[in-house]
Amino acid sequence: MVHKKLTLPTKACAACRRPFAWRKKWARDWDSVKFCSDRCRAQGRSAAAR
């Protein structure tokens, strides 16, 4: 069976607004994932602190 990455759910990053796809490591808390990377998470937190 072939796995198609096009069928994975996607979200827009809260910091950079780029779309990012579901990852297995986010399976338990996909609803709470807001950022696509550690860099965006750090940027998002610093922007919110201003």
Residues 6+ apart with CB under 8 A from 18: 12, 36
Report residue 4: phi and psi, to 5°: -105, 120
In a domain, 40, yes or no: yes
Which structural domain, as residue segments, surrounds residue 44?
11-21+32-49
* Count of domains forming the chain: 1
Would you state the pLDDT for residue 44? 80
Specify the pTM.
Answer: 0.71
In a domain, 44, yes or no: yes
In a domain, 3, yes or no: no
pLDDT in tens, 1-50: 666 667 889 999 999 999 999 999 999 999 999 999 999 999 986 655 54
Using the structure block, give the residue that is written with the tokens 């709470």. 32
